[in-house]
Amino acid sequence: MTLLALGINHRTATVEVREQVAFTPSGVKEALAQLCDLPSVYDAALVSTCNRTELYCVTAAEGEREILEWMGRYHELDADELARCAYHFWDDEAARHLMRVAVGLDSMVLGEPQILGQLKEAYQVARQAKGLSGALEGLFQHTFAVAKRVRTETGIGRNPVSVAYAAVSLASRIFDDFSQARALLVGAGETIELVAQHLHQAGVHQLVVANRTLERANQVAGSLGGEAITLDQIPDALAHADIVISSTAAPLPILGKGMVERALKKRRYRPMFMVDIAVPRDIEPEVGKLSDVFLYTVDDLEEVIDENRRHRQVAADHAESLIEHGVRDWQKGQRIRDGGALIHRVRARGEVLRDQSLDDALARLARGEAAEDVVRRLANQLTSRILHQPTVAMREAASAQDHVLLDAASTLLATTATNVTSQPS
């Protein structure tokens, strides 16, 4: 049996292919049951996100092809087509890959933290579906410990590398306490939706979303307890806004210098933080010349993002080093585990041979044979039975000049001259 990581991600397949091989949350348990029913699969866990679908399995050597064919049947896709955009890792490389995924080194956004939570969820689902046991469960637990250490020691996820998060990060430089801040978000696209989520997580709970269509504004604001307004209501909302972030597809600016000046007057010139993410710009450049306005553009955000990418890359290099330590620790654990299993098998075989010889001796005693003769026969019989298989193996090794095996046998059986010398009674 061996460990296999088989997957498709944003680097190897288009979004159309990734959509086709994704597993729905409600279907994962059934899929795991089918996967573990394959003759070559013993344990399995399934990770499915928007950017990757990965299977981690304890399998026989021929298991990869069988798993690919099962995946093709499940999604009604050609297995050879899947193979062309799939990657696979075995044993140590599979363990290393899982650890790199867990800390965000294999993500589209370097160091993104969401994937660790997704892996933990996949682990729990696999446990509930009884798809995990032994080595694979131990690998996931070890991976989570490594990921925790990487997050603690490298700070790989601390520096924002998305436009939405960078905008919120800039705002935190102006406001010490987000809980009292009011935010006006102009637009309702994906970027503004992410900005709203980041602001809410940072402690901003007074959110207003302005959009051309009120329905879409409600979709963004409603889940966060915010308020939705139309674009023509912006002048009134602006006077109450400490944070203004805009990202629309409008061809002309939406917030002009005069509108902002009037809002500042109503605010009694309390500072206003503004970020214009749109191209073309939503906020007139002249707004940045007003006192008490801190205006940033998408170019300013890119500078923050580039700087943070450099910080994350330094952290990523440190993370790679910690992962190598993690892989070596896992390998050591596997060797100890394998050694323990071997010791268990050897002792079990010895106990079987002992019981067989003991039963034979007791039967001879019951028939009235002399005790001394029975004991001598027991000792000879037990010695012969225990040493028979090792003796055969050593003869074959000697014939093949397998000195490695002979040296190992000498160490294991303690056959050096000092060890076999008779001890005084």
Residues 6+ apart with CB under 8 A from 29: 125, 128, 129
Torsional class of 111: left (φ above 0), alpha (ψ -120 to 50), beta (otherwise): left
What is the pLDDT at residue 425?
Answer: 40
Q: Is 57 a catalytic residue?
A: no
Give the other-Cβ count within 10 Å of 183's Cβ: 26
CB atoms within 10 A of CB 415: 12
Instruction: Write the DSSP assignment of 141-205 as a string of letters.
Output: HHHHHHHHHHHHHH-TTSS--SHHHHHHHHHHHH-S-GGG-EEEEE--SHHHHHHHHHHHHHT--
The SS3 call for residue 3 is strand
Would you give per-residue pLDDT tens digits along the chain (425 residues)?
Answer: 799 999 999 889 887 888 899 898 889 999 999 999 999 999 999 999 878 999 999 998 788 999 999 999 999 999 999 999 999 999 999 999 999 999 988 987 778 778 898 999 999 999 998 878 788 999 999 999 999 999 899 878 776 667 777 888 888 878 878 888 999 999 998 889 989 998 998 899 899 999 999 999 999 998 899 999 999 999 999 999 999 999 998 889 999 999 999 999 999 989 999 999 887 899 999 999 999 999 998 888 777 777 777 878 888 899 999 999 999 999 888 777 767 667 778 888 888 888 888 898 899 899 988 999 889 988 888 888 888 888 888 888 888 888 888 888 888 777 654 444 444 44
Instruction: Mark residue 37 as left, alpha or beta (left: phi above 0; alpha: psi -120 to 50; beta: remaining).
Output: alpha
- Model pLDDT, residue 415: 63
Give me the count of residues in the chain. 425
Residues 36, 50, 57, 85: which is the catalytic one? Answer: 50
Contact 113, 102 (CB under 8 A): no
> How is the chain split among helix, strand and coil, in percent rounded to 5?
60, 15, 25
Model pLDDT, residue 387? 83
**Pick from 167, 195, 91: nearest CA to 136:** 91
pLDDT at residue 68 in the model: 95
Q: CA-CA-CA-CA torsion for 123, 144, 54, 330, nearest 10 degrees?
A: -110
- The answer to whether 218 and 251 have CB atoms below 8 angstroms apart is no
- The structural domains of the chain, ordered by start, are 2-157 (3.30.460.30), 163-306 (3.40.50.720), 335-413 (no CATH)
98: exposed, middle or buried (Cβ count in 10 Å: 0-12, 13-18, 19+): buried
Distance CA 102, CA 86 (A): 19
pLDDT at 114 (0 to 100): 80
H/E element holding 272?
Answer: strand 272-276
